Structure 1
Amino acid sequence: MDTMQVRASERIDAEQLHAFLKRHFSNLPEGKLEISQFSAGHSNLTYCLKIADFEVALRRPPLGPVAKKAHDMKREFTILSALHPFLAIVPKPYVYVDDDSIIGSDFFLMERKKGVVLDTHFPPGTDTTVELARQLSEKMVESLVALHAIPYQETPLIDMVKPDGFMERQVHSWIDRYDKAKTAELSEVAVLTAWLKDHIPTNAEATIIHYDYKFNNAMFSQDYSQMIGLFDWEMTTVGDPLADLGVAMSYWMHADDPKMLLYALGEPPITILPGFYTREEFIERYAEKSGRDVSAINYYITFAYFKLAVICQQIYYRFVNGQTKDDRFAQMDTMVAALIQQAAKSIK
């Protein structure tokens, strides 16, 4: 995963951090602490800490005011601790630090994995065949099915979650979040939210769900034969597995999707390239491998577009109100409008 120089507005105290690392890791090598930042992500901030051949990743909340219960570092650390023994793609967590004096917030440290993260392009020199695209599609299906197969009852998550009534709570909660972060009136919202409330599925099955499952949160081996990492577990919970599938499909764009949706935040994802499964193929393969009935998947995809619109709207609200100064967020309202339109068109 590529790192970059830390954004000026997101720098952290290297001296305090180095002192903490010395206290916590007995085998820390001598040398200067180098801090870089992982460029992906619009929410929690992730840094790479390096001293000689020692490397760890640091996760912290974004700067400025954040939504209540959002960006909960202790919760994400607990999730990684629970899931890593069952699934090797989950980064190994090392320590959670509830001390604002070190970098200005709580944070946790975890394993620094190395491999290829795919987003809008393949690395230069990659032979981007149809076969490779189908192989990667299949790996994405397999890993989602494997995640949903973890027995959450055998993990600490059983004491952190309330799977009963999951979709009912989700729908009303995300509609409420949208209302609180609204900065403009969009004509489709009233009909869309009414439909979502009136058609909530009654599926009672519950599994661990990642809830932000997409290519740029996954890491592959250099030859693309294996997924070796899955990141950004902040939204993970126990709930309807089809909600997770729906979210994955909201990110899984086709070349013939609306241009406004494809290009609202820059280049579209690699899934528009020849050979990648269509959404229909992905859903069919998931059904085959998991044995689940996916006949109601359209509702979950519609809700996923709306949920993603709300996330973008919350980020844009923070930008408009000066709570973040990251220029990447200046056009986020365009993405919100595109996602609301896509959700409205998905209603059947």
Structure 2
Amino acid sequence: MSGATEPVRSGDELDWDALESHLRAHLDLPAGRPEVRQFTAGRANLTYLVDVDGFRIVVRRPPRGALAPGAHDIAREYKVLSRLWAVYPPAPRALHFCADASVIGAPFIVIEHRAGEIVRDHIPPSMTHHPEVGRRLSLALIDTMTTLHAVDVDDAGLNDLGRPQGYAERQVSGWLDRWRRAAPDDGPAAMEVVAIELAESLPAPQRVSIVHNDLKLDNCQFQADDPDTVSSVFDWDMATLGDPLFDLANLLVATQGSAVQTASPEEVIARYAEQSGADLSGLAWYEAFARWRSAVVVQQLYNRHVRGDSSDDRLAALGALVPAIAADARRALDDR
């Protein structure tokens, strides 16, 4: 994992001595005092770059404060990344899992560090010389998505990652439960209405695959000289076995409004259909779900700011976005 880093934000410090002692007890680290910086891209899990005399590793732990059941599942992320790397090269290898929350205040995982570029709200200077670079990056993401969805779960040792039967139903009911836990008293009524309509029109899956559940441009890494290949995929704490069209819809919704000029939704859908052979005639349901789910995520992030569980000032403006996202989800269902 790589990307922009900054000095550790105030409030996100860990017990560095305890972390170093634990890492040295379980990993072969060089001599020397670790230098720690914080990755800037993520808004939830706390992710740190630990550099010991040029040997770099990544430490990830859940955010502070109350968490929704099943959210920020670091143990799940370790399970995936300790196995998937062997058959899916974009998955960085997990090196260690610590379940003992007393070390740094929460369970955490250690992942190999990979150098490269992460694209968030602009094209990195090292890649701006490529023609149609944004379009090529987004099509590369579709390529790596279809490759992930084609992974044999037995070969990956991940046939126990989830329960595919009833996956769509659990997605709706699970995210509705999260909404009800997170919703303010004046939350948009559309959120409950959309949940009912989604539950009444569940699609039948065409196939089962590994589902990343948050596969988007800024959860990927590229090499500066190659915008046509995703070199790494990050943030696997929600990965499971289920209907792969959830991944495609989540990506389409995440891409809309991006400051990066990506491929059009029509081109993205056509690329996925060509490579996967999937029938995408029912994709509108999945897109409506993805919009609705994103409203829940935004509300959860905003609540972390309100409670003082995060020192990330970017979260302060998110609460005002929820009603508009809920309305978009309602329109997406009505327009099917």
TM-score, normalising length: structure 1: 0.90
State the distance in 2 between where 1:107 and 1:74 align.
8
Summarize the Cα distance change of 1:322–1:23 in structure 2 as closer, same or farther, 3 Å threshold: closer
Task: Say whether 1:186 aligns with 2:172.
Answer: no
- Alignment deviations for residues 160-191 of structure 1 (CA, whole Å, 9 cap, x no partner): 31101110111122122212211123143343
Q: Is the 8 A contact 1:122 1:128 kept in 2?
A: no
Q: Is the 8 A contact 1:46 1:59 kept in 2?
A: yes
State the distance in 2 between where 1:325 and 1:130 align.
38
Partner of 2:326: 340
State the distance in 2 between where 1:303 and 1:87 align.
28
TM-superposed CA distance for 1:86, in Å, is: 1.0
Q: Is the 8 A contact 1:17 1:102 kept in 2?
A: yes
Q: Which amino acid aligns with 2:332?
A: S
State the distance in 1 between where 2:97 and 2:46 align.
15
Partner of 1:168: 169
List aligned pairs for 1:134-153, cutoff 5 A.
134-153=135-154
Summarize the Cα distance change of 1:284–1:11 in structure 2 as closer, same or farther, 3 Å threshold: same
TM-superposed CA distance for 1:216, in Å, is: 0.6
State the distance in 1 between where 2:126 and 2:25 align.
43
Q: Which amino acid aligns with 2:213?
A: Y
Q: Is the 8 A contact 1:97 1:106 kept in 2?
A: yes
State the distance in 2 between where 1:70 and 1:156 align.
23
Task: Say whether 1:62 aligns with 2:63.
Answer: yes
SS at match of 2:43: coil
Aligned length, in residue pairs: 330
SS at match of 1:227: coil
Task: Say whether 1:210 aligns with 2:212.
Answer: yes
Q: Is the 8 A contact 2:82 2:94 kept in 1?
A: yes
TM-superposed CA distance for 1:336, in Å, is: 1.7
Identity %: 35
Task: Say whether 1:241 aligns with 2:241.
Answer: no
TM-superposed CA distance for 1:9, in Å, is: 0.4
Aligned Cα root-mean-square deviation (Å):
1.8
Partner of 1:278: 264
Which residue of 275, 279, 294 maps to 1:308? 294
Q: Which amino acid aligns with 1:222?
A: A
TM-superposed CA distance for 1:68, in Å, is: 2.2
TM-superposed CA distance for 1:212, in Å, is: 0.5
Q: Is the 8 A contact 1:86 1:150 kept in 2?
A: yes
- Alignment deviations for residues 129-178 of structure 1 (CA, whole Å, 9 cap, x no partner): 55323322221111000000011133443223110111011112212221
List aligned pairs for 1:1-348, cutoff 5 A.
1-26=3-28, 28-124=29-125, 126-127=127-128, 130-183=131-184, 184-225=186-227, 226-253=229-256, 262=257, 268-270=258-260, 273=261, 276-347=262-333, 348=336
Higher RCO structure (Cα 8 Å, ≥6 apart): 2
Summarize the Cα distance change of 1:208–1:269 in structure 2 as closer, same or farther, 3 Å threshold: farther
State the distance in 2 between where 1:152 and 1:289 align.
19
State the distance in 2 between where 1:81 and 1:341 align.
40
SS at match of 1:277: coil
Q: Is the 8 A contact 2:43 2:312 kept in 1?
A: no
Q: Is the 8 A contact 2:253 2:291 kept in 1?
A: yes
- Alignment deviations for residues 91-128 of structure 1 (CA, whole Å, 9 cap, x no partner): 11101112223212211101111101001111236435
Summarize the Cα distance change of 1:52–1:211 in structure 2 as closer, same or farther, 3 Å threshold: same
State the distance in 2 between where 1:101 and 1:186 align.
39
State the distance in 2 between where 1:92 and 1:104 align.
23
TM-superposed CA distance for 1:337, in Å, is: 2.1
State the distance in 1 between where 2:192 and 2:76 align.
33
Partner of 1:256: none
- Alignment deviations for residues 268-302 of structure 1 (CA, whole Å, 9 cap, x no partner): 441xx2xx311121011100001111111111011
Q: Is the 8 A contact 2:68 2:178 kept in 1?
A: no
State the distance in 1 between where 2:297 and 2:219 align.
16
Q: Which amino acid aligns with 1:5?
A: P
Q: Which amino acid aligns with 2:79?
A: T
SS at match of 1:95: strand
Q: Is the 8 A contact 2:213 2:250 kept in 1?
A: yes
State the distance in 2 between where 1:127 and 1:35 align.
30
> In terms of mean alpha carbon deviation, does 316-325 or 165-174 score higher?
316-325
